[in-house]
Amino acid sequence: MPGRSECGARCLAEGRRERDYTEAEASIMAPAPACACFRFYAELNDHLPPRLQYGMVEKQFIVPASVKDMIESLGVPHTEVDLVLVNGESSDFSRLVRNGDRVAVYPVFESIDITPVLRLRPQPLREPKFVLDVHLGRLAGYLRMLGFDTVYANRASDLELVRISAEERRILLTRDRGVLKHSAVTHGYWLRETDSCRQAEEVVRRFDLARSLRPLTRCMVCNEPLRETSKAEVGGRVPQGILAWCNEFRECAGCGRVYWEGSHPRRMRRWIEQLAATAPAL
């Protein structure tokens, strides 16, 4: 009868007392680790060590864990993930991974069309707003210069950043993957670039914001929206040479700084024009 010998061996084993087992037998009878195969797509591979990138990643485990925990144990923050397929079916983060599962993990900003299947993320944020971790002060200035609502405080703790991101529905930008592993973070992005100007370009590209640039609408220092003001009101706060030719001024309601067409250096204005020109044709 098929399976008889296997059953017989197990029954025999169960009939013996524990101290009768040799070490070799015990090692044979220890629970074999289960194994699941993971495949990460596109830029999710940036989080994996080079030897695991763009291939099948085998993950062994004794105790089953959730999809979210397993993905993060391999180094990929869950906020970077938009879709998980387990054995070809859409799965949420809480599903337990079982022996033999094949798990395909897709990034948030993958361009392939995955709309027909369930996504893990809540709806995309309609108006992109950001909260930046404490090391990204220069990036905060650039994003505000481009007109994006950007919260930055150089003494905020990780927990504060996570709270602000969740409560104010802001995309958390960071170079620290650990921050993105907080389960409260639903919209986060790990910056690949290290230079702040390139980081701003990366954000515009990843979030498809080239059409949303609004230069001269937000204070670079305190993030307050700028309001229009008159030449008479800004007298004394703007160089005489500027007053001679410029008639339109904007003022920050927070700190009183005055901005005008050309208040950003020529190099920056050209950079903004080039960024706007990267918008794909409709």
State the residues that interact with Zn ion by CB under 5 A: 219, 221-222, 252, 254-255
Please state the closest distance from residue 280 (CB atom) to Zn ion, in A.
33
Is residue 78 within 8 A of residue 93, CB to CB? The reply is: yes
Q: How does DSSP assign 31-98, residue by residue?
A: PPPEEEEEEE-GGGGGGS-GGGTTSEEEEEESS--BHHHHHHHTT--GGGEEEEEETTEEE-TTPBP-
Nearer to Zn ion, 45 or 229 (CB): 229
Nearer to Zn ion, 258 or 279 (CB): 258
166 is written with which tokens? Answer: 């969740």
| Cα gap 148→167, rounded to integer Å | 18
Nearer to Zn ion, 96 or 221 (CB): 221
Please state the closest distance from residue 254 (CB atom) to Zn ion, in A.
4
Nearer to Zn ion, 102 or 227 (CB): 227
Residue 107 CB burial class (10 angstroms; 0-12, 13-18, ≥19): buried
Please state the closest distance from residue 152 (CB atom) to Zn ion, in A.
13
Can you tell me which residue has the tokens 């599903």?
Answer: 95
Number of H helices, E strands in the chain: 10, 12
Please state the closest distance from residue 227 (CB atom) to Zn ion, in A.
11
Nearer to Zn ion, 203 or 219 (CB): 219
Please state the closest distance from residue 222 (CB atom) to Zn ion, in A.
4
